[in-house]
Amino acid sequence: MPSFSEHINQAKRNIEFLKLTNQQNNSFWDWQVTICFYVGVHLVNAHIAQKANMHYRKHNEVNEAINPYNLRSLCRFPEDIFLLYSKLQNLSRRSRYLINEDLSNSNPIAHFTHDKHFAKSIRHLENLMNFMRTNYSVNFDRIKIDCIEFIPTNSNFFFK
């Protein structure tokens, strides 16, 4: 099964792909949101591998392992990090299936992904990356993101 460092390396490769995708054609917001989620997947799996030497293949198993209310889990996240990962996952689900990211919303119309959703994804991903930087001393290169809805601040570590 992949190690902590292998998951981190894959996350960094996915970030590089996000950078290339964004630079070449920044209108594919759905794909960029999905890339953000898969960066997050590898960061979360790196955390699980490091904390508990566990390896999951299903999203619901990962969600259970990082759930802050699962007191039996060795790799649960703080509530704020768990919630932002869940939001990132839901935005990716919106991108892939054209459904509202609010799972309780059963509106039958197609929900497309726009630059505002990508900006939300970037903010969630950056917080997750910061968690990994703080807790595991993982360094990520800073990349420029072209998205009118994303407004970088001085607190942005990874995306400008």
At 112, phi and psi to the nearest 5? -85, 165
CA gap 97, 68 in Å, rounded: 27
- The tens digit of pLDDT for each residue in 44-61 reads 999 999 999 999 999 999
Percent of the chain with pLDDT strictly greater than 70:
99
59-66 vs 29-52: helix crossing angle, rounded to 10? 60
What band does 41 get if pLDDT is binned at 50, 70 and 90? very high
pLDDT value of residue 156:
80
CA gap 63, 14 in Å, rounded: 21
- The tens digit of pLDDT for each residue in 66-97 reads 999 999 999 999 999 999 999 999 999 999 99
* Whether pLDDT at 24 is above 80: yes
* Whether pLDDT at 38 is above 90: yes
- Contact yes or no for 89/34 (Cβ under 8 A): no
The pTM for the full model equals 0.93
- Tokens 């839901």, located at residue: 90
Residue 143 DSSP symbol: B
State both tokens at 127: 């917080």
Nearest Cα residue to 112 out of 93, 94, 124, 88: 94
CA gap 61, 59 in Å, rounded: 5
Average pLDDT over residues 16-40: 93
Fold of the CATH domain 4-136:
Four Helix Bundle (Hemerythrin (Met), subunit A) (1.20.120)
- Contact yes or no for 136/50 (Cβ under 8 A): yes
Please give the mean pLDDT across all residues of the chain.
93
CA gap 79, 67 in Å, rounded: 8
